[in-house]
Structure 1
């Protein structure tokens, strides 16, 4: 039967016989039946009888029980224990409780305080605040010291030393680069005819270009061509070889995959010429429409390696140093020796005025005095009327003075002849022709 709105005794509900409630009815709140009773007083422990009773009511006159006293703190560890903890305290290896005990003891014990000070100073010597970056010149100093103390059993030819040094520097730069930097864009610049030319590639593309053109020297020495069966037929042109390598690498290779083959090829070149010695110095290396003796081809490759390493360093925002003074002098000397032939090529292409006819047979031809200042500089006399003639000071008609870095940037095609801040004196046409011939030495 139903006994109330909030109760059910198991009988039938008004909704029908045999039905059971699906959801219980809500209960009424306690506040609905009047105010809540006051809570009972909390029991307290009598410190005398150790019995629990209620708190005294306010106004009853009964005194509250006295507070229970706290236990005494633990005694400090003895002197010998605290002294044994000084080493761990100096290394910051103590627990918080041990640290507090040791530091409290140091305020009262002069001998332990002195020893703690000495231990802290010793810990400072164990952790010097030095930079983890190695000195960038450490490699060159170590190599210089080793080679100075024990000369190589098979020495590197003097004309191959610049290539050896520049490839080692570039290899060290590449070791510090990650995959993202290998994909960094690099702007290659050179000079064609009367105008500058640019080509954008990546760091991996630059290394592929160096390896493809170095392959001309490798094949001349009987080594494996890095292009393999993909080598283009006909005359070995550096530009065609580079384009062929770029197409093959774009389809098949990871950007970092070119580093190890280039490094191995440079090692193989150095080993080959070191064992061969002076017997191969005059071996002809074809460069498309002209040839260079092997000694000059190695200087050419060293110069291009330095120039393109600078392009890479600029792209990844990394400092890069120029070649050593003696090596830079050899590179500048090669460019100066190539200027008469470059001037003759420009005349055949109609880009320069024809040479002057000599008034009488045997009379000295015109020359230009080229002065390169700074590291690796010197004086050269450039023949203006015959590429086969030797320049002398007998009939100097013009004088150009350039800084060594500026001359190399002009020969690399990184600055135009108009931008070269040269000290100039003499025939204006001769000066212009030599500056443009210097820029025409550059190529991809």
Structure 2
């Protein structure tokens, strides 16, 4: 029978009166027809799924294995590297130099967290590695501005070019302005000592960084007056000399001057360059003779002497560089010499001024006795000294010794001096004594001494 087969399949039905029968549905007990309570039991709650009663129960599919996806298997985590203490200690130097493998680095750093002695040694080694790297200057190359401008002008010449004899002044004022941009307010009051020669003795005057800029402002004003620009000196000076004008400015202004003096100085420098560029005339297509021929010969008075405008602009470039070096030394700022081309032009100006300086020394009775017995008329050959400048801006010049108008002649060469270019400029600025100048000397010792002292006499405040 069907019912009998069911009872044989699932076992005998338990007696409801048997208290020893197990409670609840058993594995061998068929499910009740109307739910867990039987025909009289409560209705079970509706399932949350939308499956219909006739739909078979959802059986989840087995999880897809990584091997079945075709993707690469993940790399197993590397096992930590276990090293002995002596090995880890020997790796400290390589670790400080960042030369360890990643596994060795991890092992060493884990060890440093537990070993104080190795941690101290690692710290000392890491500090020592820092000393192996040479210090790099954060300051820009002083010639960067000049090189950038030259590169730009090579590609597109300016409509109104600056004359060649004014470019050194343009470059040196720009370099000094960059130095002033970098210093702080307090450094404007740093003490600076101006040095120059009077007669055969060195003299000096103490001022500040702001006082040096005021000095440059008032002396550049002599060129401004020649070009018809405003005079920066509002007070009346005792004499139209650089020293008298500077003293007048220092006396009438707030002394010591403050950094506010930078603005009028840089504006005047810009106006000087702009004015000589327009005064030189012509465009970029003009020839060298057409550019700056007439304006370059305008006389600029310094009180006791005059210089043509082209030489005066070189003189102002030279003094700007020298005093920028004084400021840089006072505030501990690195400062380089001018470019070789500009330095050569400054040396050439000093060499051309030496015959006049020698004549002034003879008139003042400062020349050696032997140098007063060999005077020759202007336009005739006379004794000459060969001035050889080595290094940056170098070259050779024949200096007439007997009179400013004498013709230098290699056939009448009586002495030879060899100097470094920067040292010659320091001598002409009064920063190096003639007796201390490291000059190679050959020939007439008296002539050599007179020329060295004449070069120092070119200096002034």
Q: What interval of TM-score do these two structures reach, taking the shorter chain for normalisation?
A: 0.5 to 0.7
| Separation (CA, whole Å) in 1 of partners of 2:383 and 2:448 | 12
Classify the secondary structure of the residue corresponding to 1:285.
strand
Match of 1:356 in 2: 373
CA distance in 1, matches of 2:176, 2:210: 13
Please tell me whether the aligned partners of residues 388 and 416 of structure 2 are also in contact (alpha carbons under 8 angstroms).
yes
Distance 1:302 1:254, change over 3 A: closer
Consecutive unaligned residues of structure 2, counting only runs of 5 or more, are: 1-72, 79-135, 281-291
**Structure 2 equivalent of residue 32 of structure 1:** none
How many residues of Structure 1 are paired with residues of Structure 2 in the alignment? 318
Once the two structures are TM-superposed, the CA of residue 440 in structure 1 deviates from its matched residue by 0.3
Contact 2:384 2:409 in 1 (8 A): yes
Alignment equivalent of 1:180, drawn from 186, 202, 221: 186
How is 1:395-434 mapped onto 2 (pairs within 5 angstroms)?
395-434=412-451
User: Contact (CA 8 Å) 1:299, 1:331: kept in 2 or not?
Assistant: yes
Counterpart in 2 of 1:345?
360
Match of 2:211 in 1: 205
- Are the counterparts in 2 of residues 369 and 399 from structure 1 also a CA contact under 8 Å? yes
| Alignment equivalent of 1:378, drawn from 395, 398, 401 | 395
* Residue 370 of structure 2 corresponds to residue 367 of structure 1: no
Give, in whole Å, the separation in 1 of the partners of 2:348 and 2:137: 40
Q: TM-score, normalised by structure 1?
A: 0.68
For normalisation by structure 2, the TM-score amounts to 0.65
Q: Give the conservation status (yes or no) of the 8 Å contact 2:380–2:407.
A: no
> CA shift at 1:134, angstroms?
6.4
Q: Cα deviation per residue 1:209-248 (whole Å; 9 max; x = unaligned)? A: 00000000000110000013x1326x41110000011112
Query: Counterpart of 1:409 in 2: which secondary structure?
Result: helix
**1:291 corresponding residue in structure 2:** 306
Unaligned runs of 5+ in 1: 1-107, 114-130
Pick the aligned partner of 1:170 from 168, 176, 185: 176
Measured after TM superposition, the shift of residue 139 of structure 1 is 3.6
1:44-81 C-alpha deviation (Å, 9 max, x unpaired)? xxxxxxxxxxxxxxxxxxxxxxxxxxxxxxxxxxxxxx
Query: Distance between the aligned counterparts of 2:455 and 2:323, measured in 1?
Result: 18
Q: Distance in 1 between matches of 2:419 and 2:257?
A: 42
**Distance in 2, Cα, partners of 1:231 & 1:363:** 44
Q: Please provide the CA RMSD for this pair.
A: 2.5
Question: Which residue of the partner structure matches residue 98 of structure 1?
Answer: none
**Alpha-carbon separation, structure 1, partners of 2:308 and 2:168:** 16
Q: How much does 1:111 deviate?
A: 11
Give the 5 Å matches for 1:61-80. none
How far apart are residue 296 of structure 1 and its match?
A: 0.5
